Amino acid sequence: MHSKFYIIIILVLIIAGCKPPEEEPLTFDFKHRPGAAVVGHGNVSVVYSDDARTFNTDNPIQGGIQQYYFNDNSNSYISGSEITFTNETGEIETKQDTFGLDPFFSPFNKTAGKELEYQTQLFATEEGIIVQKVMIYAHRDIDTFIHWKLYTPAQTDSRQMTATDILEDGIYHRYDNDSILAIAGTDEHSQFTFNTTEDITTVTTPLSLKANRDTTLTFFITAGSSDTEVITKMFAAEENDLFDNAYRYWNTWLAEMEIPAFPHEQYKQTYVSNLYAVYASALNGTYPAPISETSDVSRAQKAHDHLYTGEYDRAEQLINEMIEHANSYGLIPATIKDEVINPVSPIECAEFIEVLHVYFSTIPT
């Protein structure tokens, strides 16, 4: 299987607002660029997107978790995930509302419908557990089933599933490289069932939703090289405050980072989101090869110089070269933003590119 790695091009998200004096704004419309997030910790890294432009249309499930890597980037165990609701008449219709990244370590997706609406949050815990939190709001009393479906192909070019164990607490996939993937749900009021059919793993639980009330469910994925490692993570995932624990952990991590000064808070938020995405791309401290590329460092420096000298067309050309370089690897921006950033002064643009230059310079090689 050909692995795709995702890197972060911060400038795409900000430079859209750079406006040189007496000139037309530079033509970077990041709203029309596809986006994905990188989530992970330790020996697990996940590429996640609810942006349909990033989906692999050959897969039976196309959104959500695009790639799930464990230990190295040669093995992707999951290539799609989705949440669906059904009742006695079939699937309950919903439509995507908004998606993005908030807080910096967690992509979210809001979906609305006539009968219910829900929001998902994906995040990694300190233990490397990947958690899918689902918050549901019903517009009327409704009995339904919620299904978390994941595309878990039994065989790829690099590994093969050798066995599947369906137990009371989860479904366990075993592979020929001695890896174990466990998928489950946690909620003291719910009874989860598990099955796998034609490479689709499904976790299901019934819900009796009450009108105008919130209901929260948690699904999760753990991986390990032994039963002991997986079981230890399974116990950790049974905590009721996984998101709160993750929030504290990642903000403590952030407090230890050296964050440059920015002329705008938006710049800082984008930098932090991408800083985390780079960190989450590492598996056991090793970064995918494209992240170690250094050619964008010189491009960023040159773009910075051209902005200072008023050569805006050349600056734009260099930035587009950075984008094309990323696309040549199948890479896409990590941070998803739907709002338009207001124009800022060329000096502020130059300051940001200077920070960008430092950013590329500090990516591990």
Same structural domain, 159 and 196? yes
Average of per-residue pLDDT values in the chain: 76
Contact 234, 131 (CB under 8 A): no
Helix (H, G, I), strand (E, B) or coil at 90: strand
Rounded Cα distance, 141 and 213, in Å? 9
Same structural domain, 64 and 136? yes
**Does a structural domain hold residue 155?**
yes
Q: Which uninterrupted H or E stretch holds 251?
A: helix 242-255
Q: What is the CA radius of gyration of the chain?
A: 21
**Does a structural domain hold residue 89?**
yes
pLDDT value of position 325: 56
Final residue in a domain of this structure, among 220, 250, 280: 250
Given a cut of 80, whether residue 211 has pLDDT beyond it is yes
CB-based contacts of 23, cutoff 8 Å, min separation 6: 312
pLDDT value of position 219: 95
Mean pLDDT of the region 73-83: 89
Give the burial string for 58-78 (b: 16+ CB within 10 Å, else e): eeebbbbbbbbbbbebebbbb
Same structural domain, 20 and 69? no
Given a cut of 70, whether residue 169 has pLDDT beyond it is yes
Same structural domain, 205 and 280? no
Given a cut of 80, whether residue 150 has pLDDT beyond it is yes
Contact 137, 213 (CB under 8 A): yes
| Confidence bin at 278 (pLDDT 50/70/90) | confident
Same structural domain, 319 and 228? no
pLDDT value of position 37: 81
CA triple 66-69-73, angle to 5 deg = 110
Given a cut of 90, whether residue 257 has pLDDT beyond it is no
Contact 156, 141 (CB under 8 A): no
Residues 17-34: pLDDT tens digits?
A: 444 333 333 333 334 445
- Between these two residues, 317 and 175, which has the higher pLDDT value? 175
Tell me phi and psi for residue 102, to 5 degrees. -170, 115
Residues 325-353: pLDDT tens digits?
A: 544 444 333 332 222 223 334 444 444 44
Q: Which two tokens stand for residue 185?
A: 């749900």
CATH code (residue 176): 2.70.98.50
Rounded Cα distance, 364 and 285, in Å? 10
Given a cut of 90, whether residue 303 has pLDDT beyond it is no
Rounded Cα distance, 99 and 103, in Å? 12
**Does a structural domain hold residue 255?**
no
Domain total of the chain: 2
Given a cut of 90, whether residue 238 has pLDDT beyond it is no
Q: Which uninterrupted H or E stretch holds 311?
A: none
Mean pLDDT of the region 30-52: 76
Given a cut of 50, whether residue 105 has pLDDT beyond it is yes
pLDDT value of position 187: 72
- Between these two residues, 326 and 175, which has the higher pLDDT value? 175
Same structural domain, 244 and 338? no
Which among 98-102, 194-198, 264-268 has the top mean pLDDT?
194-198
Q: Per the omega criterion (within 30 degrees of 0), is the bond before 103 cis?
A: yes
| Confidence bin at 196 (pLDDT 50/70/90) | very high
Same structural domain, 163 and 18? no
pLDDT value of position 230: 93
Q: For residue 90, how far is the Cα from the chain centroid?
A: 30
- Note down the domain range covering 108: 39-250
- Between these two residues, 123 and 57, which has the higher pLDDT value? 123
**Does a structural domain hold residue 3?**
no
pLDDT value of position 298: 59
Same structural domain, 172 and 190? yes
Give which of 86, 95, 201, 89 is closest to 148, Cα–Cα. Answer: 201
Same structural domain, 188 and 306? no
Beta bridge partner(s), residue 168: none
